[in-house]
Structure 1
Amino acid sequence: MFRAVARRLKGECAVAGRRGPGTLGRALTAFVLTVSLAVVCAGEAARAPACPPARGELTVEDLPAGSSVRACRAVGRVVTHDGAGLVVPGPGTTVSVDALTTDGSAHGFTLAVAADGTVSYAYEAAHARARPGRRADAPAPCTDGAYSTAGRKEYGTYEWFLGDGPLPARLSGVQARQVFEAAVATITAGRNDCGYGDAVTARARYLSTTAAEAGVDRESRCLRRDGVSVWDAGDIGPGAVATTCSWSRPVHGGPDRLLEADVRFNTHDHAFTDHPSGDCTGAYDLLSVATHEAGHVFGLAHAGSGHENLTMYASSFACSTDARTLGKGDVLGLRSLY
């Protein structure tokens, strides 16, 4: 009897709501139909989105949330959103792109692929995407408690390498390493001028120079991860001062576990300095930018318009050294993770 009823279910989806209680015969048959009909109709309503075109770059609209990277063979393809982009990772992996821009307009998003291949996205919060206001109108760094986190953290020790190519501000490898180590230490120690003690438990260790490159292309898009966290410099497109790409995996009941984080500074379009002076006109303070990027590595997201005096504000101000130390919100964000 059940099989006979089941063969009729698909047609019943269209008319089930209009039939009277006696149209299917005996009460037992009606009960079986009601339960089975609900399952079939719900299944049709939850049908997965159609797969995108087989070739070319994709947008988040082409590969919407709920799509399957397995069914659509999307792993390894580029997905873009609002000027940012990344390569789709395999199941069980999340990738995030965070670009520090010249005008404070946050460019970045996160693509997560569940273990079963299902896609989901997270976008910059509306406040982070707003155009910048005046720093003079924003709260002082030690009174501004705003922060946002990216849903990931380093559970162990972040081990990183320095690229062996040209570096920002024409620094030698030793000099650049010292600047980057200082930036990372500001995050792991929660260094600030607000009177907060070091309650952050994050850890990091520099390993060596490497011929490997950061997984960031000329359009600030995250490439495939190679298992090596690299800080280097190059061309990432004129709108970005620096970009961080992070890969992570889910942790039950907690933030994602960081797998790799690459940082690239845009030396093609922007000048950097390690000692801004009174005659500085357009160079970015390398330590300030590096501290911001280290914040992304350890799980901080952008603070947007209205929070221009925090280290994690979405832009770095030329010739300013203010972001070298953390504000209240930056510290509170790290403490929420560590």
Structure 2
Amino acid sequence: MTRYDSRFIGRSVAAFAVLASISGVAGSAQATTAGTDGAAVCHLPEEGPLSTEDLPTGSSVLDCGAIGRIVTYDGTGVTVPEPGTTVSVDTLATDGDTHGFALEVATDGKVSYVLTDAGADSSTAGTDVPDHLTNPTHTAADLSEEADSVDADAPDAVAEGDAELAEVDALAAPGACSDGSYSTADRKEYGTYQWYIGDGGMPGALSRTDAKWAFWDAIDNITGSYNNCGYADQVGAKHNYLGTTSREADINSSSQCTSRDGVSTWDAGNLKSGTVATTCSWTFPMPGVKNDLLEADVRYNTTDYDFTNKPTSTCSNKYDIRSVGTHEAGHVFGLGHVGSGHQNLTMYTNSFTCTTKARTLGKGDVLALRSIY
């Protein structure tokens, strides 16, 4: 039997491991390693968006210099916030799939993700936590600016005798009042959601005044648990309209959340094709209970899709403003998506054109709100 020097074997194995490590890092801009304390270490590309592999769970936004960089996942993206903040993106997509995720930055700068639409915290107890960010980062001027009225679609005119469409149920799914399915996010408005109407054109070519009432009604559908199922309003969620602003939703044309400006804004403009509307939410992490909502912005995609405030029998390929708004307001107040087989619920992943049915909550929508509030 041939005898080998154990010291030679040890040196050879060590050399092979070093070469393999060097090869792995050189071959990928997304390589990550483990630090001396076992924490993930990032290797960020100098430019462009990051992936969740570039900035992995356990890495530090402070050590990596990642604050202000965009992280993308499944066709959506968020801008990395400062420590002590969670940012979430939810998109209403035409393909009927769930698109969205959350990125949390702990107070020590460590990163974690929620890559599904499921609720994270089972407990909803807690008290209001004030916004601790006394100097929020303002969105760069070139990220979400939209020219006034450029993307407003044609105004709606209801012909004489042309009645507005009544609620229409999807035949293949359980009725809205018999479907108790729901999901929730790790998010809750402990106080009052204070919101503004932003700059630029409004969906359906509405005036800002008319848009105010359409958005107000949509948000009221959530805070008031509006339904035709006989459920009383037991939800303590509240909102308050504060007026118009020259600010815009902190959402860019790629349907990505930019840096928050401290103002919750509803507006319309350019989003990624295939996205009807997007909601971006920023919360204060609260382990063991729902995160406290700091800001939530909503944008309608008026570049690629038409909207109407009065769907009628002559409506063609237009989304109902208040149906879409009710769905987005659901995200603001912590509701997640429900998927295939639940088409009659407001929080279904898609929105149907020329119907008002999503303005009215179903059983699952109401149960979801009650589970939070």
Q: Same fold by TM (over 0.5)?
A: yes
What is aligned with 2:265?
230
Distance change in 2, residues 1:74/1:277 (3 Å): same
Partner of 2:365: 330
1:245 maps to amino acid: C
- TM-superposed CA distance for 1:55, in Å, is 2.6
Q: More deviation in 102-111 or 50-59?
A: 50-59
2:314 alignment partner in structure 1: 279
Query: What amino acid does structure 1 have at the position aligned with 2:347?
Result: M
SS in 2 for 1:183: helix
Note the C-alpha offset of 1:286. 0.5
The structural deviation recorded for 1:125 is 4.2
What is the SS of the residue equivalent to 1:248? strand
Q: CA deviation at 1:108?
A: 0.6
Deviation at 1:88, TM superposition (A): 0.4
Verify the 8 A CA contact 1:152 1:257 in the aligned structure 2. yes
2:158 is matched with which residue? none
User: Which of 76, 90, 108 is equivalent to 1:84?
Assistant: 76
How far apart, CA to CA, are the structure 1 residues paired with 2:333 and 2:250?
A: 17
| Cα distance between partner residues in 1 of 2:283 and 2:68 | 16
The Cα of 1:183 is off from its aligned counterpart by 0.6
Measured after TM superposition, the shift of residue 243 of structure 1 is 0.3
| CA shift for structure 1 position 90 | 0.8
Give aligned-pair identity as a percent: 58
Aligned to 1:57: 49
Structure 2 alignment gaps of length 5 or more: 1-9, 14-33, 119-168
What residue in structure 2 maps to residue 268 of structure 1?
Answer: 303
Contact 1:164 1:173 (8 Å CA) reproduced: no
Letter in 2 for 1:72: C
Indicate yes or no: 2:247 matched with 1:186: no
CA offsets, 1:187-213, max 9 Å, x none? 001110111000000000000100000
Distance in 1 between the 2:81 and 2:340 partners? 31
CA radius of gyration, larger in: 1
Q: Give the conservation status (yes or no) of the 8 Å contact 2:86–2:102.
A: yes
Query: Is 1:163 matched up with 2:163?
Result: no
Give the AA of the match of 1:316.
S
1:249 equivalent in alignment to 2:288? no
* 1:251 Cα deviation from its structure 2 partner: 2.2
* Gap regions ≥5 residues in structure 1: 1-10, 15-41, 127-133
Q: CA RMSD in A?
A: 1.8
- Equivalent of 1:123, from 115, 118, 122? 115
Question: 5 Å matches for 1:104-123?
Answer: 104-123=96-115
Retained in 1: the 8 A contact 2:35–2:41?
no
Does 2:244 correspond to 1:209?
yes
Q: Secondary structure at the match of 2:78?
A: strand
CA distance in 2, matches of 1:297, 1:65: 25
Deviant stretches of 4+, over 6 Å: none
For residues 149-178 of structure 1, the C-alpha deviation after alignment (integer angstroms, 9 at most, x for no partner) is 111110000000001321000111111100
Hey, what's the Cα distance between the residues in 1 that align with 2:95 and 2:344?
14
Q: Which has the higher helix share?
A: 1
Indicate if the aligned counterparts of 1:51 and 1:67 stay in contact, CA closer than 8 A: no
1:29-49 Cα offsets, whole Å, 9 max, x none, are xxxxxxxxxxxxx98572423
Q: How big is each residue's C-alpha offset from its partner over 1:210-237, in whole Å with a ceiling of 9 and x where there is no partner?
A: 0000001001000000000000000012
Deviates further, 47-56 or 95-104: 47-56
What is residue 4 of structure 1 aligned with on the other side? none
